[in-house]
Structure 1
Amino acid sequence: MAQTVLHTANTRGAADHGWLKSFHSFSFAGYYNPDRINFGALRVLNDDFVTGGRGFGEHPHDNMEIISIPLEGALQHKDSLGTTATIKSGEIQVMSAGTGVYHSEYNPDEANPAKFLQIWVFPNKRNVEPRYDQITIDATTRNEFVQVLSPNADDAGVWIYQDAWFNMARFDAETAKTYNLHKEGNGAYIFVLKGSIKVDGQDVDTRDGFGIWETDKFEITASTDAEFLIMEVPMKF
């Protein structure tokens, strides 16, 4: 029988730095919950709001797969690999930190906030050469799972050093689809961006997170028009 966990939006950790408002699905920085350290290889899921003209100064990472998905606005990225890029809504960015990398992120729009998901996944290979990539993702397809990340460089979406698959979805109300996990031993963490869905009958609302594992598939039904992200990761790594 499938195992599940529901993290409602109002139980997340929260930080307000004035220029940055961040909600943490898992323990991060000043928020610590021993029951919410990670979901398998998924270590961080932060829901961030960055004030116009502000951002994260240069800081280091190593041996982590770091994924950013802008929801509104744009972020300017600079790193020690020599990358300077702007990522905006409708795109996805990945950075394999590997042996170590420094980077900064800045909202270049003085008038409007940037909203994005910051996601960290434990890698299955350590001390790799750091790398950066970003692509445009399909923002128009409805009522289907749209793959935006996988372990395979020649597959749809960006790729990371982990047996993980991410799918974005925009469902019309009453749409129902079965999600089949790609690999035995994986689980899925579903994060609802807008609207409400049911995952195998469990109600999951806006900004809720729902984890399901020890199964090979599950059904998602949209209770309303809804947008959500499915993050499939190994539960043991």
Structure 2
Amino acid sequence: MKQYRLAMKTKLRRSNERGHADHGWLNSHHTFSFADYYDPSYMGFRSLRVINQDRVAPNGGFPTHPHRDMEIFSYVLEGTLAHKDSLGNGRELKPGQVQLMSAGKGVLHSEFNPSPTETAHFLQIWIQPQARALVPSYTEWHPDPAKEKETKVLVISPDGRDDSATIHQDADVYRVRLGSSASVDHEVKAGRGVWFQLIKGQATINGQTLQPGDALSTEDAGTLTITSDGTDTEALLFDLG
């Protein structure tokens, strides 16, 4: 068994502690305070402001609405997500794909489930940018088939390295996928914070067990060892300055 020289301070956010809203066409769980859900202990984590796990009913969606001064991305888990915005983009995203919109000084957009039969399931995530009134932009990340077996893949970064989507913040976002009983390490550097959001499967991180929808965070330097507990797991890991 691996030994840890110093116990890293971590904090668990359980799935059943999240906020919940059911609007019929939208069933959403809020990791942080959002809309009518308010929890002063969970207003965000560093620059991370929103993690909503959204399920949109067939032919449902968010009508055209404005945003500004926020980096907004969606990670599609099931079904199809159709995006349109005032920048002229019109795209349909499939499972495993990411869309990233920098709202900057202002943009209008809509998100819609075009399927008449399937639910669209995705994570909607907001990260505060380093600067205000940026020029709005839109980009996507699609998985590389050559990297499908990699346990940790960079999907978003401030410099676009390794073919990741570019964000206007000191934030690296990784997709973590582990087969049964597989593990991967992540080094947390001094001065940074990590938020780990489990999507599916069961995982253990430095001795703490997480179920789908659970999250673990830390601002201690050290090594996080993420192990899949006998099932295929999927998660997003946010490494934030």
Whether TM exceeds 0.5 here: the answer is: yes
Instruction: Provide the residue aligned with 1:146 in structure 2.
Output: 153
Q: Distance in 1 between the 2:33 and 2:192 partners?
A: 21
Equivalent in 20, 26, 33 of residue 20 of structure 1: 26
| Amino acid corresponding to residue 177 of structure 2 in structure 1 | R
Instruction: Provide the residue aligned with 2:89 in structure 1.
Output: 83
Give a deviation string over 1:106-157, Cα, whole Å, max 9, x none. Answer: 1000111100000000111221100001121247623521111111134332
Equivalent in 159, 164, 167 of residue 157 of structure 1: 164
Instruction: Provide the residue aligned with 2:214 in structure 1.
Output: 208
Give a deviation string over 1:184-220, Cα, whole Å, max 9, x none. Answer: 4221111111111111111111110111112143111
Equivalent in 221, 229, 240 of residue 223 of structure 1: 229
Q: Distance in 2 between the 1:189 and 1:81 partners?
A: 31
| Amino acid corresponding to residue 176 of structure 1 in structure 2 | S
- Aligned residues, how many? 233
Q: Distance in 1 between the 2:144 and 2:28 partners?
A: 26
Question: Contact 1:137–1:157 at 8 Å: present in 2 too?
Answer: no
Instruction: Provide the residue aligned with 2:53 in structure 1.
Output: 47
Structure 2, gaps ≥5 residues long = 1-6
SS where residue 238 of structure 2 aligns?
Answer: strand
Question: Contact 1:27–1:33 at 8 Å: present in 2 too?
Answer: yes
Give a deviation string over 1:214-237, Cα, whole Å, max 9, x none. Answer: 214311111122111111112xxx
Q: Distance in 1 between the 2:120 and 2:183 partners?
A: 31
SS where residue 155 of structure 1 aligns?
Answer: helix
Q: Distance in 1 between the 2:230 and 2:240 partners?
A: 27
> Sequence identity, in percent?
40
Equivalent in 171, 191, 204 of residue 197 of structure 2: 191
Q: Distance in 1 between the 2:194 and 2:229 partners?
A: 20
Structure 1 stretch displaced more, 118-127 or 149-158: 149-158
Question: Contact 1:90–1:138 at 8 Å: present in 2 too?
Answer: no
Equivalent in 175, 180, 189 of residue 187 of structure 2: 180
Question: Contact 2:68–2:105 at 8 Å: present in 1 too?
Answer: yes
Structure 1 stretch displaced more, 31-40 or 219-228: 219-228
Root mean square deviation of aligned Cα: 1.5
Structure 1 stretch displaced more, 19-28 or 195-204: 195-204
Say whether residues 1:168 and 2:175 are aligned partners: yes
Give a deviation string over 1:15-42, Cα, whole Å, max 9, x none. Answer: 0000000000000001000001001111
| Amino acid corresponding to residue 122 of structure 1 in structure 2 | Q
Question: Contact 2:187–2:221 at 8 Å: present in 1 too?
Answer: no
Q: Distance in 1 between the 2:117 and 2:177 partners?
A: 28
4+ residue runs of structure 1 moved beyond 6 angstroms?
none
